[in-house]
Amino acid sequence: MTFAALSLAVALQMSGPLSVGAKVPAATVKMKNAADGKMISIADVTGKAGTLVIFTCNHCPFARGWEKRITELANTYSKKGVGVILVNANDPAMHDEDGLAGTQARAQSLGLQVPYVVDESSAVARAFGASVTPEAFLFDAQGKLAYHGTVDDNHRDADKVQKRYLKDALDAVVAGKVPPVPETKGLGCGIKFRNG
């Protein structure tokens, strides 16, 4: 990577995530679906009630801690009119399991019923300003960002969750309402951006 490209990448990473109300960026960028190898974009999965994009990965303790809850939310709300797509933007050179084969295996073992794609240049993650895994971006029926942030307030123990941020936001969006808490933060692993 040239110095200029590296500087640009750093600038993009530091520019912060999308603001609430923003439209879906990089919506037509095709990414490989781990389940069947087909190239799909966020635009391809857009739902009538809304669209949920979650940047996640296969090795991160936070992503692993939340993965069953993410799967449950994805499978449940995809049946309620929300288009859902999970995006792995990590460079597999850093962690083997974040490659296509590892992503396919993870999707199968979790029973994911929505696409889990590989962002092969990390371009989509950069366009969103995503920085950690997992990190959720929920767009409403009009395609505007309604919620951005973490899944809930306890990645380690689902039984101790007190604030179900993402579920509450999904319920609101499906009902055509504004999420009660539109932006949250949670600890997470840094996305291992590929040289793009």
Partner 1 sequence: MAAVRAPGARAVLVNVWASWCEPCREEMPELLRYYRDNRARGLRLVLVSADDEEQRADVERLLAAQGFDGPAFIKHGDEMAFINGLDRHWSGELPSTFVFDGQGTKKLFWPGTITYGELGRRVGRLLAPAGKRASGAAKAADPTETPKTPSRRNP
**Interaction with partner 1 in 155-194: which residues (CB under 8 A)?**
156, 184-193
How many whole angstroms separate alpha carbon 37 and alpha carbon 47? 21
- Among 66, 13, 19, smallest CA distance to 182 is for 19
Is residue 93 at the binding interface for partner 1, with CB under 8 A as the rule? no
**Interaction with partner 1 in 6-45: which residues (CB under 8 A)?**
6-7, 10, 13-14, 16-17
Using alpha carbons only, what angle is made at residue 15 by residues 99 and 67, rounded to the nearest 5 degrees?
35
- Among 133, 151, 154, 148, smallest CA distance to 182 is for 148
Measured CA distances, 184 to 8, 19, 30 (Å): 26, 12, 28
Q: Which is nearer to partner 1, 6 or 178 (CB)?
A: 6
How many whole angstroms separate alpha carbon 147 and alpha carbon 20? 7
CB of 161 to partner 1, least distance (A): 11
Select from 131, 134, 140, 166 the one that contacts partner 1 (CB under 8 A): 131
Select from 2, 3, 28, 159 the one that contacts partner 1 (CB under 8 A): 3
Residues that bind partner 1 (CB under 8 A): 3, 6-7, 10, 13-14, 16-17, 59-62, 94, 131-132, 150, 153, 156, 184-193
